[in-house]
Amino acid sequence: MTGNSARRENPRGVAGTIGDPVSELDRRWDRVGRNAAYMAGASFLIGTVLFLLDAADLLGKGPEYHATAAGQLQDEANFWAAYFNHQHRILWTSWAAI
């Protein structure tokens, strides 16, 4: 038997009781789930720390919007290009430090 059907059938006829033998497949999936949770937790923590450091301008000052004679559309394009460049630099600098 494979998968969950092996877990459901046991001598007592009760699924998931304490002391039931756990298959190797279940152990592997438990390990996959645990590792995925660790990765998600670490990623969330790193993202939060980077956000807080950036919000405090400890990773460099972010770009500021400047109105020029080129027009609002060009000014916004310049601002967003500089902003995404700033975020890109933060991400790759922190990734290289790991």
State the pTM of this model.
0.61
The tokens 């080129």 sit on which residue?
70
**What integer pLDDT is reported at residue 25 of this predicted model?**
84
For position 49, what pLDDT does the model report? 93
Q: What is the dihedral of CA 34, 40, 42, 44, to 10 degrees?
A: -150
DSSP, collapsed to helix, strand or coil, labels residue 73 as: helix
Per-residue pLDDT tens over the stretch 22-75? 788 888 999 999 999 999 999 999 999 999 999 999 988 999 999 999 999 999
Write down the pLDDT at residue 78: 96
Show me where the domains of the chain are located.
23-59, 64-98
| CA–CA gap between residue 36 and residue 40 (Å, rounded) | 6
Name residue 79's amino acid.
Answer: F
Q: Alpha helix locations (H) across the chain? A: 4-8, 24-55, 72-97
